[in-house]
Homo-oligomer: A and B are copies of this chain.
């Protein structure tokens, strides 16, 4: 059997529910998307429950599932993936948090949860906190995109069972971290010490003096959430016998790639925002398929429109996705199995992830092509693939790529 390459494109938050102002169509149903439809018409289609029917996934847990891992077993929190995403190499026992640079007043009340969406100077601020020693615990701190950052505690006896310091709402005071189990006591104490220290070290930092002088919100606090312990994941090279790479704009997804042992490919213009250069990502993927067996691409933009509750913006993003798919269509070699899907639905009506299943299309040589003309939530439900679980997708793709081991003889 000839082994094939696999290109998995994950359109973040693409799935939706019917929208009244779109004539009860979903954004996918309402958008003109000849190229996505071409893949559906020439592929095998179905619905995919990222984690399980009705289960509302995070982007982290759903990506784990789409990579073939059981998130219910291996997921301990988002922090570790954010930390890996910003380039921290986690060690066993490390506890990691996702953080925001934020603005507080003198009473430590949150006045801006994103420090005015600070863009510049965060690396200098991070350097002030990175390497701190709090008792026997070493602090690793790294800036991500904009106001985002990752915090890691390294030391003995740490536990991820602690509550957030992030009050999640402006106008509220920074929270004191509490242990969620008795073994979380020491870690909660370290996190509270770190939080106080961060304020002391950041409030008069030159970067913040300059911001205040310009009338900008100073990044004088760090709020932490999503504590998790470094997960032990079987590398994807070992699990499926493939050399794999990932392309994404956002830190978290890069962290997901690294955590399963994929190479992370940096693409100029891939920001993870609405301004991301999708065509550059597609071209990078085509190029990467020359040296990798599996290439995963995450396109974040549709999810942002879902969270913002903007159906017309989501349609525009889908049109841009479709242009990208047009490029891909012409550049794709005959030896590639392509899968198009989403990590979850982010319905514009609810502005958050939902448990609704997402469309999935598999395209390539030897696929049982069905008669589904459109790539959308309702059309694919009648497809030859039926309704599958996210965790099964990678095995299905590996099988179509003739890369699986026989179970039995």
Query: Footprint of B on A, CB under 8 Å?
Result: 1, 17-18, 24, 26, 47, 51-62, 71-72, 75, 77-78, 98, 226, 347, 349-357, 366-370, 377-378, 381-389, 392-399, 402, 404-409
Contact = CB atoms under 8 A, between A and B. Distances in A.
Contacts of A53: 388-389, 392, 395-396
Residue of A47, A59, A75, A406 with most chain B CB atoms under a 10 A cut-off? A406
Residue of A352, A355, A357 with most chain B CB atoms under a 10 A cut-off? A355
Residue of A62, A347, A404 with most chain B CB atoms under a 10 A cut-off? A404
A46 B264 CA distance: 40
A44 to B, nearest CB: 9
A142 to B, nearest CB: 18
Given A71-B408, A75-B407, 19 more contacts: A1-B351, A24-B369, A26-B368, A47-B384, A47-B386, A51-B407, A53-B395, A54-B396, A59-B408, A61-B407, A72-B407, A77-B409, A78-B408, A353-B406, A355-B395, A355-B396, A355-B399, A355-B404, A381-B386
Please classify the interface of chain A as helix (H, G, I), strand (E, B), loop, or mixed, using the class held by over half of its residues.
Answer: loop
Copies assembled: 2
Contact of A366 (B17, B385, B389): B17
The 7 closest A-B pairs by CB, nearest first: A58-B408, A54-B395, A61-B408, A386-B387, A355-B399, A54-B396, A53-B392
11 contacts: A17-B367, A18-B367, A18-B369, A24-B369, A53-B389, A55-B395, A56-B406, A60-B409, A71-B408, A75-B407, A78-B408
B52 A392 contact: yes
A408 B57 contact: yes
A402 to B, nearest CB: 6
A388 B388 CA distance: 10
Contact of A349 (B356, B366, B384): B366
A20 to B, nearest CB: 9
B56 A404 contact: yes
Given A60-B409, A381-B386, A387-B388, A54 B369 contact: no
A1 B17 CA distance: 14
A1 B357 CA distance: 19
Nearest to A51: B407
A377 B386 CA distance: 12
Given A381-B386, A396-B355, A399-B355, A57 B406 contact: yes
A85 B58 CA distance: 40
A58 B406 contact: yes
A279 B57 CA distance: 39
A198 B103 CA distance: 77
Nearest to A396: B54
A351 B399 CA distance: 14
Contacts of A356: 368, 399
Nearest to A226: B409
Contacts of A402: 350, 354
B396 A78 contact: no
A63 to B, nearest CB: 9
B54 A409 contact: no
Given A54-B397, A368-B17, A409-B60, A381 B383 contact: yes
Contacts of A393: 54
Residue of A62, A347, A396, A409 with most chain B CB atoms under a 10 A cut-off? A409
A370 B366 contact: no
Nearest to A54: B395
